[in-house]
Amino acid sequence: MSESVILVADDDHAIRTVVTQALGRAGHHVRSTGDAATLWRWVNEGEGDLVITDVIMPDGNGLDLIPQIRKRRPDMRVIAMSAQNTLLTAVKAAERGAFEYLPKPFDLNELVNVVKRALSESTSNPSAVPDANDLQENLPLIGRSPAMQEIYRVLARLMSTDLTVLINGESGTGKELVARALHDYGKRRNGSFIAVNMAAIPRELIESELFGHEKGAFTGANTRYAGRFEQAEGGTLFLDEIGDMPLEAQTRLLRVLQEGEFTTVGGRTPIRANVRIVAATHRDLTNLVSQGLFREDLYYRLNVVPLRLPPLRERADDVPDLVRHFLGNATAEGLPTKTIDGDAMERLKRHRWSGNVRELENVVRRFAALYSQETITVDVVEAELADIPVGSDRDGSNEDESLSEAIERHLKSYFDAHEGALPASGLYDRVLHEMERPLIQLSLSATRGNQVKTAQLLGLNRNTLRKKIRELDIKVVRGSQ
């Protein structure tokens, strides 16, 4: 790349200097300015081969300039850089036709690489992108950590496409939120967003749920049912917990994705599928593939654009923004307004957050709802974050053990006791009974033997509770503690 002239606009002198030096070393010629007016004048006069512009400048907004630049100089590539690192900035940059968006601070090598790409890629028009005016300022995704920046950049590029996206991330990391953002800001946003949870549908109903059925297709099919594919026509179909899809349904889905059309259960005429597919799972699909539980060909069909949502503990810097956001939500819902002091925030940042953003959201909601003080202090945080050691030994030896850890410990010693041989069959029910007994016993004593209240507490039907009490031979003592 010889002697390309790059126009750099940024009101921060230090940034202009480092960018100019880095590009100079890479063999480019740079002209830089601190204001939008000068940049526009240069472009207008036919100067330069590439623009790198800051977003907020004293006399204008770099993003607003992009459409003008591209109109005047259709071949000109524009790279936007900004410290305003929200999803909205990334999306707007893509919408206005920026070649690339670089959140500050960025790595200078990265800049040089982007410039190289911008200068070498063909100057065919980027695909049409949705209108920025429709974007709400009310953003769904909070967090400015580098990890989230990367997500925003990928999202921004995906907005103008129909590419299939596979979102992977632990529970509570925001998979559904991202899927919705892809729809709400994408070109299909005027269509419907239909979410189907593969783990929640009984396997024999998945096919009719997804593809619909004709009247009389099977017993109980009294009317025609438009399946999820049909409901999502022109919009987005979100296949949640895709890792839990039974193999037969996977085969059917794969065929539909390959052929681009489907037939309803009991129907004969193929219907064209016009949906954008976004899938999500918390499971490791490559692992499921190697175990034979997930079809490899379906995996590759879905994994066109992989998006990995990082767990919250890998982006502790996002915690303060999220906390403020959730406190704001609580206030909007009519709960008292709270603030969090510095130590308390530090403590929240240090937590392991195994339930990710959802866990944080719940904790913050409890701050707003359960505490009378206006400022949340570190002792309140400690109290809320302390594990409730259900069923742990009173002598304190297992104070930090959770319920499932305790169960695991018991089961392990049970298996170990068989020394390689297998326990008698029927283990599942036996173990569940073991858990039911203390659960019902303790609930009964907490309600002083009141079976109506116990049934309510457990969320069981009263007759079911009575049956279980009989089966498990539990003594009910009324009025006891």
Q: Which residues bind ligand ATP (CB under 6 A)?
A: 141-143, 169, 171-177, 282, 325, 357-358, 361
State the minimum distance, in angstroms, from the CB of residue 99 to ligand ATP: 26
Closest contact distance (angstroms) between CB of 241 and ligand ATP is 7
Query: Which is nearer to Mg ion, 179 or 249 (by Cβ)?
Result: 179
Q: Which does 172 bind (CB under 5 to 8 A by kind): Mg ion, ligand ATP, none?
A: ligand ATP
Cα dist from 238 to 157, 180, 228, whole Å: 19, 8, 10
What is the footprint of Mg ion within residues 53-92 (CB under 5 A)?
none
Nearer to ligand ATP, 135 or 455 (CB): 135
Nearer residue to Mg ion within complex by CB, 198 or 253: 198
Return the number of the residue (16 or 175) whose C-beta is nearest ligand ATP: 175
**Residue 147, phi then psi, degrees to nearest 5:** -60, -40
Q: How far is the CB of 398 from ligand ATP (least distance, A)?
A: 28
Identify the CA nearest to 80 among candidates 60, 59, 99: 99
Q: Is the peptide bond before 336 cis (omega within 30 degrees of 0)?
A: no
Site for Mg ion in 257-286 (CB under 5 A): none
Q: Which helix (H) or strand (E) holds 94?
A: helix 87-96
Tokens for 203, please give them.
């396997």
Closest to Mg ion by CB, 176 or 233: 176
Reported in sequence order, the residue ranges of 5-44 that DSSP labels E, i.e. its strands, are: 5-9, 29-33
Residue 149 binds what, of Mg ion, ligand ATP, none (CB under 5 to 8 Å, by partner type)? none
Looking at beta carbons, which residue is closest to Mg ion? Answer: 176
358 binds, among ligand ATP, Mg ion, none (CB under 5 to 8 A by kind): ligand ATP
CA angle, 460 as apex, 195 and 354 as ends, to 5°? 50
Q: Find the shortest distance in angstroms from Cβ 247 to ligand ATP.
A: 22
Could you say which of Mg ion, ligand ATP, none residue 48 binds, taking C-beta under 5 to 8 angstroms by partner kind? none
3-state helix, strand, coil in the chain (%, to 5): 50, 15, 40
Beta bridge partner(s), residue 194: 237
Backbone angles phi, psi at 194, to 5 degrees: -115, 125
Find out whether 301 and 164 touch, Cβ atoms under 8 Å. yes
* In the complex, least distance from residue 408 CB atom to ligand ATP, rounded to whole angstroms: 21
Q: For residues 77 and 180, which CB has a smaller minimum distance to Mg ion in the complex?
A: 180
For residues 405 and 108, give the distance between their C-alpha atoms in angstroms, rounded to a whole number: 47
Neighbours of 144 (CB within 10 A): 18
Nearer to ligand ATP, 170 or 401 (CB): 170
Q: Residue 100 touches which of Mg ion, ligand ATP, none (CB < 5 to 8 A by kind)?
A: none
Distance in Å, CB of 170 to ligand ATP, minimum: 7
Residue 235 touches which of Mg ion, ligand ATP, none (Cβ within 5-8 Å per kind): none
CB of 283 to ligand ATP, least distance (A): 10
- Least spacing, CB of residue 302 vs Mg ion, in Å: 16
Question: Phi/psi of residue 252, each to 5°?
Answer: -65, -45
Q: In angstroms, rounded to a whole number, what is the distance separating the alpha carbons of residues 100 and 81?
A: 8
Q: Which of residues 172-211 bind Mg ion (CB under 5 A)?
A: 175-176
Map the footprint of Mg ion across residues 124-183, applying CB under 5 A: 175-176
Q: Which is nearer to Mg ion, 167 or 440 (CB)?
A: 167
Decide if 128 contacts 160 (C-beta within 8 A): yes
Contact 440, 450 (CB under 8 A): no
Give the C-alpha distances (Å, rounded to integers) separating 408 from 171, 405, 415, 429: 21, 5, 10, 16
Helix (H) or strand (E) holding 278: strand 276-281
Q: Which does 165 bind (CB under 5 to 8 A by kind): Mg ion, ligand ATP, none?
A: none
Cβ at position 195, least distance to Mg ion in Å: 9
Residue 177's binding partner among Mg ion, ligand ATP, none (Cβ under 5 to 8 angstroms by kind) is ligand ATP
Residue 465 near residue 441, CB atoms below 8 Å: no
Q: What's the rounded Cα separation, in Å, for the pair 52 and 417?
A: 69
Residue 143 binding: pick among Mg ion, ligand ATP, none (C-beta 5-8 Å cut-off by kind) = ligand ATP
Q: How far is the CB of 140 from ligand ATP (least distance, A)?
A: 7
Query: Exposed, middle or buried: residue 414 (CB in 10 Å: 0-12, 13-18, 19+)?
Result: middle
Q: DSSP string of 383-410?
A: HHHS---TT--TTSTTTT--HHHHHHHH
CA Rg value for the chain = 29
Nearest distance in Å: CB 179, ligand ATP? 8
Quick one: 162 or 176, whose CB is closer to Mg ion? 176
Residues with Cβ within 8 Å of 461's Cβ and at least 6 positions away in sequence, in order, are: 455
Binding flag, residue 359, Mg ion (CB under 5 A): no
Q: Which option in Mg ion, ligand ATP, none does residue 142 bind, with CB closer than 5 to 8 A by kind?
A: ligand ATP
Nearer to ligand ATP, 143 or 186 (CB): 143
Partner interacting with residue 407 (select from ligand ATP, Mg ion, none; CB below 5-8 Å by kind)? none
Based on CB atoms, which residue is closest to ligand ATP, 176 or 346?
176
Interface with Mg ion (CB under 5 A): 175-176
